[in-house]
Chains A and B, each alone.
Chain A
């Protein structure tokens, strides 16, 4: 079973994402703050990370930077799943090594899972 780390500060959204992803056959771990995310990314066996950008403490960009700089996590695919859509944010996430960038409100959870499956195929 593939393991997904969901980094999302809104607990209701996190719950919805987790429910749907688990139903699609993945196992899920989750983090709600930047600090929590910084330690969770180091857990072994993570296959893909769903990353929100607006988080308390460290933001999603700091976390993405850390993921790409850390030897054990640098190759983990990261889907930036956020409601930020300005060019500067998209460019920054892309420059930092996001595998894919999706604007949350524009996509259904089925579409998110479709993209996850494609990346992991």
Chain B
């Protein structure tokens, strides 16, 4: 076998492995979706008291379970979209949403974490009437969840997180920023921060558990909505993530 044939044969092998991997992800994701659908519908029936009365505490738990399940559904959708660029999970559910209401819903899930670390969450909104955006709501919720979660995770106790949402009428964009007073991103890590599976050494030191997929997924979702994401960071003094999302 000459060199060219060897390369071709290795290439064919790699292609086959890649196809098998894609098929495995696809089958697993579809199986997961079945279980997640069952959970989604059952929890909703319990919440709507179709299976009997529930008390306030049970209602709170069910609402949290629904939110957590929805997050898993978004992850599976993301996995499929990422695995097959022709997957249409994303376009199947575009709808008009109010970003401020979505932010309020998402931030309510972090009350306990904020309280534990005695972090003050400051919310700024310059414009009174922020126009709705057309987007996949669960995916945008995941963007907000990831950015708020990171800000809390990498912030010291008794610090502040400032989140701003504004409408820029000049370019018809919604502009969001997430500022923390946390560990920051070192200069040498900044270029890799949106890479999949990358976790900065100072982030691992602070928080051992993490997939290294959060910012990678966040960036992909923002770009799928024709938006942009970037950051400014100073080690040991904090990071600000900026996100813009077009109205149309």
Contacts and interface: CB of A to CB of B under 8 A. Distances in A.
Interface of A: 10, 12-13, 16-17, 19-20, 23, 54, 83-88, 90, 101-110
20 contacts: A13-B37, A17-B41, A19-B45, A20-B45, A83-B33, A85-B87, A86-B80, A86-B87, A90-B88, A102-B92, A103-B33, A105-B33, A105-B37, A105-B73, A106-B73, A106-B89, A106-B92, A106-B138, A109-B44, A110-B44
Contacts of A106: 73, 77, 89, 92-93, 138
Report, nearest first, the 4 A-B pairs whose CB atoms are least far apart.
A87-B86, A83-B33, A105-B33, A85-B89
* Secondary structure type dominating chain A contacts: helix
B34 interface: yes
B92 A105 contact: no
Given A23-B50, A83-B33, A86-B84, A103 B41 contact: no
A10 B41 contact: no
Contacts of A110: 44
B153 interface: no
Interface of B: 26, 30, 33-34, 36-38, 40-42, 44-45, 50, 73, 76-77, 80, 84, 86-89, 92-93, 138
Nearest to B30: A83
B33 A86 contact: no
Given A105-B36, A105-B76, A106-B93, A86 B41 contact: no
A109 B50 CA distance: 13
B202 to A, nearest CB: 37
B156 to A, nearest CB: 38
B38 A16 contact: yes
A103 B44 CA distance: 17
A94 to B, nearest CB: 11
Nearest to A84: B30
A86 B42 contact: no
B80 to A, nearest CB: 6
A108 B44 contact: yes
Contacts of B33: 83, 103-105
A103 B50 contact: no
Contacts of A16: 38, 41-42, 45
A116 to B, nearest CB: 15
A54 B30 CA distance: 10
Contacts of B93: 103, 106-107
Given A104-B33, A108-B44, A12 B92 contact: no
A86 B37 CA distance: 18
Given A54-B30, A83-B33, A85-B92, A108 B41 contact: yes
- Give the interface centre of A16, A86, A109 by most chain B CB atoms within 10 Å: A86
Contacts of B41: 13, 16-17, 20, 108-109
Nearest to A23: B50
Contacts of A20: 41, 45
B76 A103 contact: no
Nearest to A104: B37
- Give the interface centre of A12, A88, A106, A107 by most chain B CB atoms within 10 Å: A106
A84 B92 CA distance: 12
A87 B89 CA distance: 9
Contact of A85 (B34, B44, B80, B138): B80
